[in-house]
Amino acid sequence: MTAKRVSYTLDSSLQSVNTAEETAQLLAAKAGFDEDNCLRISMAVREAAVNAVLHGNAYDPNKKMTVAFENTGHALVITITDEGRGLDVNKVPDPTTPENLLKQSGRGIFLKRSFMDEVRIRLLAPGTEVTMVKNVSSPAEHHKEASK
């Protein structure tokens, strides 16, 4: 992988969610991820973009979503930011508890954390920033290289 950065400022629309997902799929493939990981990355981006547009910006045409992709050479780093009222991640119900298993929503953060190597959620004023990292190799391989 070679280091590159791409950033978009998009409207709060479903088309913007699609654009973010398609870009993630393309850049993940260019970064050398296999088909399964490309799918996982694009699904995580879709979840984050839907949350930004729907929950963050509430489809407000005056609010934007920013999506940035950075290929560091070791990882694909994706940051999605909205201009909404912000997300308190501690108030998000655990989708794996029995009372939440059959709910139709509320799995986005869980899925992002399952698909990506690292997920950071930061409250802004206003908005929320979600940063997701997918390493080219596993963290264990990075640890082995660092100890040599």
88-92 contact pairs (CB < 8 A, 24+): 88/123, 89/121
pTM of structure:
0.82
- CATH number at 59 reads 3.30.565.10
Q: At what angle do helices 14-30 and 35-50 cross, to 10 degrees?
A: 150
Task: Give the mean pLDDT of 57-76.
Answer: 96
134 beta partners: 76
The predicted structure's pLDDT at residue 96: 62
Q: Is the pLDDT at 98 greater than 70, yes or no?
A: no
Domain of residue 10 covers 4-147
Neighbours of 42 (CB within 10 A): 21
87: Cα within 13 Å, side-chain hemisphere: 24
Integer Cα distance of 35 and 19 in angstroms: 19
Q: Strand, coil or helix: what is 32?
A: coil
Cis amide bond preceding 126, omega within 30: yes
- In order of 34, 44, 70, 101, the CA distances from 4 in angstroms are 19, 20, 6, 39
Q: For residue 95, what is the DSSP state?
A: T
Provide the number of structural domains found in the chain. Answer: 1
Average pLDDT, the chain: 86
Task: Give the mean pLDDT of 126-130.
Answer: 95
